[in-house]
Amino acid sequence: MPTGTMPVLEVDGSTKIPNAQAIARYVAREYNLAGSNNLEQLEVDAVMEAFIDVVGDIMPALGENDEAKKIIFEEKTKPKLKNLEKMLVANGGNFFAGNKITVADITLFNNCDIFLTKLCDDPLKDFPKLKALHEKVSKEPRIAGWVAKRPKETTVSSGKSSKMPSYKLMYFDVRGRAEIIRLLFAQAGVKYEDVRITSSKEDWQKLITNRRRGMEKTKTNHANWNHARP
């Protein structure tokens, strides 16, 4: 694990990339889900950054009682959702960027289902455009197909066969931060290996061993560079 955290995406059996947001944006760019031009990509990035702020408000609230969650939703989350609704309307009301689905739209769907519903049963009821977009994404055939058959197995494959590169996604056996990446792979119809780390001793031992190997490789490369530099 490059940074000791997950999720991690392994590309072609060698390159390992951490951070859910970085991985999601990479997959989106690779499979035409990041916007059709620089301006659309900027709009997509703006929405994804806005949702980082939304989730940042929600995470500390998860351990609170229902009344505290309601206050946080009303005072912190709703104003941010109102701004996201305005951004959506400014682009015509159908998608956050351009005229087709992007990672920004899938981010709305994912964050609503995983995080927003922890604070409120119907978090988008006061935001008709966001609610309609959420519904639209949920009916995308590949998205709906993935949601219907989300696996419980530790290691599975998903989607159709694809050309190189090959992908291995490593995360815990929950939706969490990795689910946006799984949804993107599903929408793109890309095959990947979905490795889910469980609480078993064997899985943790493999994880620790791989992390140590990565650290040792980094130290060796650094030592070689120090030896070779003038």
Question: What's the pLDDT tens digit per position in 172-225?
Answer: 888 888 899 999 999 998 888 998 888 655 655 665 566 555 545 444 444 444
The structure tokens listed for 36 are 């059709």
For residue 163, the tally of other CB atoms under 10 A from its CB is 7
pTM, two decimals, is: 0.76
Whole-number mean pLDDT of the chain? 84
pLDDT band at 5 (very low <50, low <70, confident <90, very high): confident
pLDDT score recorded for residue 160: 41
pLDDT over 80 (residue 228): no
Q: CA nearest 50: which of 8, 80, 27?
A: 80
User: Which is more confidently placed, 18 or 206?
Assistant: 18
pLDDT band at 153 (very low <50, low <70, confident <90, very high): very low
Q: Are the beta carbons of 194 and 156 closer than 8 angstroms?
A: yes
Mean pLDDT value of segment 128-143: 97
The structure tokens listed for 158 are 């998903």
pLDDT score recorded for residue 154: 38
User: Which is more confidently placed, 164 or 103?
Assistant: 103
Q: Are the beta carbons of 193 and 157 closer than 8 angstroms?
A: yes
pLDDT over 80 (residue 167): yes
Q: Are the beta carbons of 180 and 192 closer than 8 angstroms?
A: no
Placement of tokens 């499979």 in the chain? 31
Q: Are the beta carbons of 114 and 179 closer than 8 angstroms?
A: yes
Q: Are the beta carbons of 173 and 196 closer than 8 angstroms?
A: yes
pLDDT over 50 (residue 14): yes
pLDDT score recorded for residue 1: 67
| Local structure of 149: helix, strand or coil | coil
Placement of tokens 């060796």 in the chain? 220
Among the residue ranges 2-16, 42-56, 77-91, 113-127, the one predicted with the least confidence is: 2-16
pLDDT score recorded for residue 59: 87
Question: CA-to-CA distance for 24 and 221, rounded, in angstroms?
Answer: 28
Q: Are the beta carbons of 40 and 102 closer than 8 angstroms?
A: yes
Q: Are the beta carbons of 21 and 30 closer than 8 angstroms?
A: no
pLDDT over 90 (residue 144): yes
Mean pLDDT value of segment 31-47: 96
Burial label for 88, CB within 10 Å (0-12, 13-18, 19+), is buried
User: Which is more confidently placed, 154 or 184?
Assistant: 184
Mean pLDDT value of segment 48-67: 90
